[in-house]
Amino acid sequence: MTAPIAVALDAPDPQTLTRWAAAVAGVVSTVKIGLEVYLRDGAPAVWAVREAVGPDCGVFLDLKLHDIPATVGGAARSVQDLRPDFLTVHAAGGPEMINAAAHALPDTRITAVTVLTSLGRSDLDRLGMIGATESVADVVRRWALIAIDAGARALVCSPQEVAALRAVVPADITLITPGVRPTGADAGDQRRIATPASALAAGADLLVIGRPITAASDPHAAAESIAQECSNALTKCGE
């Protein structure tokens, strides 16, 4: 059984992209292609990754679409042939925008990004996105419920908010958590982080992990090590 990990393939070139993808094939359930890679290398990068990981590995297209509904709907239709399992949109774009993406790609899990893990409460306050008595978790929960009502079938939130969401969203909504770092790993540019064990215990379904795997001298071994950490955590959760 593959680990509930989406490896962020933020590669500097197509060759590295496919090398990383091949390294984690059979170990993780999903690979994630982000905006930088997609804008630079386009659809061929997605097909190359699909070939490298095989048919049993999911593809997460992380484009974080955010525009007027008609534009987002058209953008979603433009990637239909790539058959992404997940496609991200910003929850802040509003329900009509999210619904446009869901209508355009009914076979894809439209994934609403709530509050980026690089943002803290002070950032949201400066942007006017949080009430005086609200926490970040309050904002995440409010946006998440709006997104689900609009047709989102997955949500992105930090590990620190996943338990609060798991308590209020339907069981079939996939909760995806970036900002996951193995014990002892550098936090990088993430602020609201957790270990794989704590994220899974809180109710996360899919963990986004990038540099702890791709920056390792042996990405395959790093992926296997974190996959074992996930397996141990899931076993403990089931006890």
Catalytic residues: 64
Cα distance between residue 78 and residue 232, in whole Å: 40
User: What does DSSP assign to residue 194?
Assistant: B
φ, ψ for residue 121, nearest 5 deg: -60, -40
- Per DSSP, the chain holds a count of helices (H) and strands (E) of 11, 8
Residue 128 to residue 65: CA distance in whole angstroms: 21
How many residues belong to the chain? 239
Contacts of 187 (CB under 8 A, 6+ apart): 181, 193
Structure tokens at 227: 């996959």
C-alpha dist (Å) from residue 112 to 38, 40, 221: 19, 23, 31
Here the tokens at position 201 are 């215990």
Run of H or E including 229: helix 219-238
Distances (CA, A) of 159 to 63, 156, 180, 232: 21, 9, 7, 18
How many angstroms separate the CA atoms of 47 and 61, rounded?
12
Answer yes or no: are the C-beta atoms of 6 and 32 closer than 8 Å.
Answer: yes
